[in-house]
Amino acid sequence: MVITSFLVNFIIRTPTIFTMSLESALQSIKCGEFVLLFDSAGRENEIDMVVAAEFVTPEHVARMRQHAGGLLCIAINNDFAKSLELKYMHEILADSSISNKEMIMGLAPYGDHPTFSLSVNHYQTYTGITDKDRSLTIREMANIFNVENKQKKFASSFKTPGHVPLLIASRGLLAARQGHTEMSVYLTQLAGLTPVTAICEMMDAETYSALSIDKAEKFAKQNGFPLLDGKELLEYARVH
């Protein structure tokens, strides 16, 4: 897929503080490296560390734990979730016998529905929470995408509840919802990879809130990671 000319035109006419383009992000994610992904100031206003799940090692998990610190999740595309017979957690709870339905989360303050489904551990893990255990769970989740009978393999290979939440991207991806779940899955699809990602929000231990863009940009430069503005990804999706 040729994106260079589009990106050049887009970057020239779109002011941005970000130093890396979509092309750099695609190259990074294809190599099993991290991409820092900002959704937008009008949404969560957060930056996630993103990596393609098929490449995840214990080192990836350790780095997300140390340098991001948010909730480490697996994001999967909608068709894959359906093949596994997964549902959103808010739908599961709505159909359950839970007495207080008011507890079930509707729209978040920024206007989107949650994408959480089950939380899982791979059956070969011990506690499920170590860097080795979580990397195994994440990587094996991606591997199921290429299995013929996905649901059978999923049911026999994973246990729930576990230590890695599954997030289901909306059908239609960015046309329906512009969250880190959809953006990260779309990024892997553009890269020609399995549409399963590991994502983790970047937190700030000094302010006790989400990491600022300025600090994220400094971290990206120090570590050689692309910092991708979600607006660039949305514009590319709109054009193509």
Give residue-wise pLDDT tens across range 156-185.
999 999 999 999 999 999 989 989 999 999
Residue 201 is a catalytic residue:
yes
Of the candidates 140, 182, 201, 229, the residue annotated as catalytic is: 201
With cut-offs at 50, 70 and 90, classify the pLDDT of residue 10: very low
Helix, strand and coil content of the chain, in percent to the nearest 5, comes to: 45, 20, 35
Mean pLDDT of the chain: 90
Of the candidates 54, 60, 73, 232, the residue annotated as catalytic is: 73
Check pLDDT > 90 for residue 6: no
pLDDT at 57: 98
User: Chain-centre distance of CA 81, in angstroms?
Assistant: 14
What share of the chain has pLDDT > 90, as a percent?
Answer: 77
Residue 48 is a catalytic residue:
yes
**What is the C-alpha to C-alpha distance for residues 94 and 216, in angstroms, rounded to an integer?**
38
With cut-offs at 50, 70 and 90, classify the pLDDT of residue 21: confident
Give residue-wise pLDDT tens across range 27-78.
999 999 999 999 877 777 899 999 999 999 999 999 999 999 999 999 999 9
pLDDT at 15: 38
Phi, psi of 224 (to 5 degrees): 70, 30
User: 1 to each of 23, 28, 93, 94, 199, how far by Cα in Å?
Assistant: 10, 16, 41, 42, 25
pLDDT at 86: 98
Structure tokens at 178: 């512009």
The structure tokens 């692309």 sit at: 226
Contacts for 222 with CB less than 8 Å, ≥ 6 apart: none
Residue 54 is a catalytic residue:
no
Task: List the domains of the chain with CATH numbers.
Answer: 20-95+111-222 (3.90.870.10)
Specify the pairing of strand 35-38 against strand 209-210.
unpaired
Helical axes 22-30 vs 180-190, angle rounded to 10°: 80
Residue 44 is a catalytic residue:
no
Of the candidates 39, 46, 121, 186, the residue annotated as catalytic is: 121
Check pLDDT > 90 for residue 98: no
Check pLDDT > 50 for residue 200: yes
Residue 31 is a catalytic residue:
no
Of the candidates 23, 90, 163, 235, the residue annotated as catalytic is: 163
Of the candidates 46, 48, 54, 112, the residue annotated as catalytic is: 48
What is the pTM assigned to this prediction? Answer: 0.89
Residue 90 is a catalytic residue:
no
Of the candidates 45, 67, 90, 110, the residue annotated as catalytic is: 110
Give the max Cα distance, the chain.
56
Give residue-wise pLDDT tens across range 114-157.
999 999 999 999 999 999 999 999 999 999 999 999 999 999 99
